[in-house]
Amino acid sequence: MQLENPIIHNLENGPLSTLKQIKNSYFLRDCFDWASHEYKQSTIEEKIEAIKYITEKYETNTLDLAMGLMMYSKESGNTTIQASDMVFALSEILDYTIKSD
């Protein structure tokens, strides 16, 4: 029995219903903020599945999602996500994807 992806579960059961709302929140820290506590709460497989789900559902791409999160963090004045942390996260995802093939 496969457990439900917690990132997708939170998205489907939370208040975020549009791409703009998703990008204008800290929701995607699970996938893109390597230094955050949220990032460490999900597996690489769950991150990839969630990114795929969001990009297909909202007809967008990974760069759009990552940049939306980075811009939101900068504009909100709360926790600013460092570009290097995002690069680490994306590199980890890419490395896993390459090794899986």
Q: What is the pLDDT of residue 2?
A: 56
Query: Tokens standing for 7?
Result: 């990132």
Instruction: Check whether 54 has a pLDDT greater than 60.
Output: yes
Residue type, 78: N
Residues 6 or more apart whose CB falls under 8 angstroms from that of 81 comprise 29, 32, 33, 35, 36, 69, 70, 73, 74
Q: What is the pLDDT of residue 97?
A: 93
Contact by Cβ (8 Å): 30, 65: no
pTM above 0.75, yes or no: yes
Instruction: Check whether 82 has a pLDDT greater than 90.
Output: no
**What is the share, in percent, of the chain residues with pLDDT greater than 90?**
65
